[in-house]
Every structure is written in structure tokens, then in C-alpha cells.
Amino acid sequence: MLLSAEHLSINFGSRQLLDDVNFYLNEGDKTGIIGINGTGKSTFLKVLAGIVEADGGTIARNPNVQVSILAQNPDMDDNATVLEQVFLHFPEDFRTLNEYEAKSMLNRLGITDHEQKVGTLSGGQRKRVALAAALIHPADVLILDEPTNHLDAEMTAWLEDWLRRFRGGLVMVTHDRYFLERVCNHITELSRGKLYHYEANYSKYLELKEQRMAMAEASERKRQSILRVEREWIMRGCRARSTKSRDRIERYHDLLNQDAPEADESVQMAAASSRLGRKLIELQGVSKAFAGRTIIQNFSYTLLRSDRIGIVGKNGAGKSTLLHMIAGELAPDAGFVDIGTTVKVGHFSQEGRELDLNQRVYDFIHSIADEVRTDEGTFSANQMMERFLFPGDLQSLPIGRLSGGERRRLYLLSILMEAPNILLLDEPTNDLDIMTLSILEDYLQGFPGPILTVSHDRFFLDKLADSIFEVRNGEVLRYTGNWSDWAAKRAEEAAPAKEAAPKAAPAERPRERKLKFSYKEEREFATIDEDIAALEAQIADCQAAQGLCGSDYMKLQTLQEQQAQLEAALEEKTERWIYLNELKEKIDAQST
């Protein structure tokens, strides 16, 4: 056992976050913590890591167990460089031994300028630097709070593989359901101060939870049936003179005082939208560049009422820039964006509104609208707040007292209160709990207008999108289907297209033309073995040179690029070798 927590209790103001709960972590356990926003998941992780003290209970760790934590909002030194931040709390000799691995990890996470000051990084870049710092730590226990936020698909796949190979204990909070499915072997649900443990990945957890809820409901139905019978007996005027009667009355009161099973409250979203005319949004030849780098080039598209578009691409490719241009918030350098007069855009941006942390939740929502009309009727601002899990006590709190997930949910409510008829969503799943995500997905499927969403959440895009726009090297490439369809098509495109070359020889058979080498093929066949040997030697030299780079990152990056080019050339040359040798065998067979 790496870590044990027993009889933990935590009270946060008027809310009981943990109520006499136990948690155990063994070597090889990979536990996902789930629960609705505001239930205390991040606080629970901090208690396990020893950053926050519980009000009651004990935490025991083997003194030799090393713990590494990635906080939801990590503290960082703005004046440190990226590399200094990664090794901030490590001795110099540790940095010397692990600098190459740290740089490689940062490159994987899209942080290529290792000398950049932390203070100049975006929020997503800061989180990725903190993730690298947590992973480079030689830990027995990893505690990660939303590690997949701000990661693109390639980065997420890399992190999945890294954590699957990790041999210690893992505890993490994440909303990424595919991630929970592929990495975790335990799920712990935090609900109303209690922990419910399931030895399962995400899909199995859903089955087991449904069974648990069904059993609880069956027990409650049985309790109510017994209570009804006993209540009728008591109402008939029973006499408590006999011992038997007294025992029966006591059993009745015991049953009456039992708590009924409680279910978590869930967000209730009603589709609120304004009338949308025939003309929506048209983009004609739009281009945008920053600091001489082209982000979007010559893109045209006319938005359709039924559009459900997922926008994907590497971090920094220009996905958010595209949304800002579609929303009319950013002017293109060339081309134009024509927005219809009835269009009312709801833009859920990645950075969010500038929220006044001292403003009350009630005042913030009322400043947007006092009521909103939906397909379920007209709701007041107070009713909408309650439907989004902001009851009276939370409405009176300053926004700064809310958790990160609750602020994100409040921001989503503020967008929907404006009754938009076109939704532009930039990373809407970040910091939202899984239950809210499921309800948001159902809401979006019933939304009457078009939806464009930038997201790295594969499950979300599989459920919502019917077409994918990939922003790549300034181009916006269009694909039909959801995320999985796009991923399969991208894999096909990335596969070598050299398989067509060997098919040329069989195509000539019906004409019964005599096979022979062309002059060029004959010369190529005579030297191809030496060419392959030379490429293999160059790759070996390149790999050896990388090990001698030390802290010379520029040289390391150049060598890595050179190795990638050499490996591509070797693959192509090997494919050609196979073809020429097969052709030579056929020529020899033809002559015998």
C-alpha cells in the first residue's frame, strides 16, 4: 500500500465536502476521481498530497514514498524560464541527469522554447509546463488534477501511453471519458461527502453504478411498502401494552428514520434561442497572420442551419482565431465575414469572460437578463441559476468563492442567458464535470441553430460533430463524420502511398509484355543496398550526436529533425528495394 486515508472529514463553510470517508491506494492502482463540480475533488487531491489538512481523520504514507502533484491552477515563478520551472524544486545534479528527458517531454507537450519566461506563457502553456514538472519527478504516487486540459489529440495519446506504463499509484481528476476508459482501473465517485469505490474502468463503472442505484431504489421501494403496512396498523389504533406490539412500533420508527437514497442534483438545460433568419454567416477568402506567420489562409464557408462542426488541430494552429473571426470579434487581414442581421452569436471562449471575483453570482446573472424564454417556458434568472446548480446560498456568494468548475458552469449559463441562435464553443468541456458534460451534449443535440466547437475531448466530438474542420499549416481541411471518422481518415492519409507501385507490374500481365528493368531501374538496383546501408549509418551517427548535445537545445532540435528526414528517406528506400527485388525475381522466372 502506497497511501491510506481513513475517516477523513472536510468542511468548507456551509458545505461538508468529505464526511468520514476512507481511501486506499496500492501500487499499480490508477484511480479516476469523478463527481459534479463543487463537491471537493480538487480539495480531496490536495489533502492526499499533504498540501491541505483535513478537519478530521488520518493520512498514512510510507516515509519512502515520493508524491508528485499537478494542481488545477499550479503556482509558478513568472521570472523563471520554462526549463528552470520544471526543475525548480530539484537539486542541480538531478537537472543534469534529466534535462534531456525533460526537453523531450516539453517538446511532446508543444513547448519548444525552453528559455521562454513563464510569465509570458498562456494559461494552457503554463499547465503543460506544470504537467512536465510533475511527470519528471521520480514519484511513487502521481496526483493529477485535470491533466488533459489544454492538450491536443496527439499530446493526450502520448500522455495516455505514458500513464499506462507508469508503475506506481495514480490518482487523478479528469473529465475525459476516453482517458478514464483507457488509463484507469479504479473509479472513485465523490457524492454528497461520501466516496463510492468501483474496481473498474469508466464503462464498467457506469454498469456497476447503475446496479448500485437499482439496488438502492429496490431497497427504498421495499421500505416504503413496509412503512405503508405498518402505518395502517398503527392508524387502526394498536395498543402498546404487549412486548410484541412495542417491538413492532420501534421497528416502524427505525424504518421511518432511515434516510432515503440521495441522487446527485443535475444541471437542467433548456434550449433558449432567438429567431434565426435565412442568412447566417458567410466567410469569403478570409486570411489571418500574426507576426508574419499565416494562421488562416484563403478560407471560404457558408454556415448552414444544421451544421454541427468540430474544429481540431494542434495547439497554436489557429482554431480559436478562426472562431473569433466567425464571431466578428477579429477582423481578417484579407477577405470578409458577412453576418446576417438576425444572427445572435453565443461565443463560449476559452479564456472566458472577465469575471469580477468580488461580484455576487446573483448580481452577475441579473446583469445579463432577468428572464429567458426557452422551449420549456419562461424562466427567471433565479430559476435558471437553480437549474444550473446555483441554489440560494451559492447565489449570494462572491464569484471568487466558487470552484474552477463552478465558475466555468456560471460562464456557460451567462452565454445561454443571452438566448443565442448560433453557438461557437471553444473548449467547452474544460473543468466541467462528467454529469454536466452529458447534459450539455444532450442540450446541444437539441439546439435549433448551428454549432461550431473547438475541442480536444474525443468523446464529446464523437457524440456531437457530424463534420470536422482541421486547421493545419494555415489551411482549413474539411472531413465528413465525427472525431473517430476523422482520425481514421487522417491515419489513411498518413500511411505511405507507395503500395501502388508494386501493382504496376501485375497490370501489364494481360498484355503479356516481357518484363525487364528500365535503364534507370537497373542502375538503381545495382546501388540500392549501399544506399540503404549509408542511410542506416547516418541515422546511427545522428542518434549518437544527440546524446552529446548536453544543454544545446538548438543543436538537439536540428538533429531530431535531421533524424526524422533520414528515417523517412530510409522507409522510402526500403519500399523501393522490396519492389525492385520482386521485379528482379519475376524477370528471372520469366527467362527460365
Please tell me the distance from the alpha carbon of residue 445 to that of residue 451, in angstroms, as a whole number: 9
**C-alpha cell, 168:** 506506481
Please tell me the distance from the alpha carbon of residue 262 to that of residue 252, in angstroms, as a whole number: 21
Across residues 387-397, what is the average pLDDT?
Answer: 81
Q: Among the listed ranges 183-197, 267-281, 334-348, 468-482, which one has the minimum average pLDDT value?
A: 267-281
- 89 band by pLDDT with thresholds 50, 70 and 90: confident
Across residues 17-30, what is the average pLDDT?
Answer: 90
The 8 Å CB, 24+ separation contacts for 76-80 are: 76/118, 76/126, 76/129, 76/130, 77/118, 78/117, 78/118, 78/119, 79/117, 79/118, 79/119, 80/117, 80/118
- 509 band by pLDDT with thresholds 50, 70 and 90: very low
Residue partners of 259: CB distance under 8 A and separation at least 6? none
- Dihedral of CA atoms 61, 67, 70, 75 in degrees, nearest 10, equals 100
312 closest CA partner among 99, 475, 433, 454:
454
Angle between helices 92-108 and 123-136 (to 10 degrees): 130
Give the sign of the dihedral formed by CA 349, CA 353, CA 354, CA 356. negative
* Residue 264 clears pLDDT 70, i.e. is over it: no
458 closest CA partner among 125, 177, 164:
177
Secondary structure (H, E, C), 321-355? HHHHHHCCCCCCCEEEEEECCCCCEEEECCCCCCC
* Residue 105 clears pLDDT 50, i.e. is over it: yes
Q: Among the listed ranges 128-137, 204-213, 358-367, which one has the minimum average pLDDT value?
A: 204-213
Please tell me the distance from the alpha carbon of residue 494 to that of residue 487, in angstroms, as a whole number: 10
Across residues 186-206, what is the average pLDDT?
Answer: 87
Specify the pLDDT at position 452: 93
Specify the pLDDT at position 147: 92
Query: Strand pairing partners for 301?
Result: 283
- 377 band by pLDDT with thresholds 50, 70 and 90: confident
Helix (H, G, I), strand (E, B) or coil at 67: strand
Share of the chain above pLDDT 70, in %: 83
Helix (H, G, I), strand (E, B) or coil at 581: helix
Query: Strand pairing partners for 10?
Result: 18
Q: What is the pLDDT of residues 135-163, one digit of tens each?
A: 998 889 999 999 988 888 888 889 999 99
* Residue with more model confidence, 62 or 272: 62
Across residues 294-299, what is the average pLDDT?
Answer: 91
Specify the pLDDT at position 169: 92
Across residues 517-522, what is the average pLDDT?
Answer: 77
Strands (E), 399-522: 422-426, 451-454, 467-472, 475-480
pLDDT mean across residues, the chain? 82
Whether pTM > 0.75 for this model: the answer is no
- 550 band by pLDDT with thresholds 50, 70 and 90: low
Across residues 333-355, what is the average pLDDT?
Answer: 85
DSSP state of 284: E
Q: Among the listed ranges 89-98, 244-253, 449-458, which one has the minimum average pLDDT value?
A: 244-253
**C-alpha cell, 423:** 453557438
Q: Among the listed ranges 229-233, 266-270, 290-294, 479-483, which one has the minimum average pLDDT value?
A: 266-270
Specify the pLDDT at position 130: 93
What's the Cα-to-Cα distance from 17 to each of 9, 45, 146, 270, rounded to whole Å?
7, 12, 19, 29
304 closest CA partner among 422, 416, 398:
422
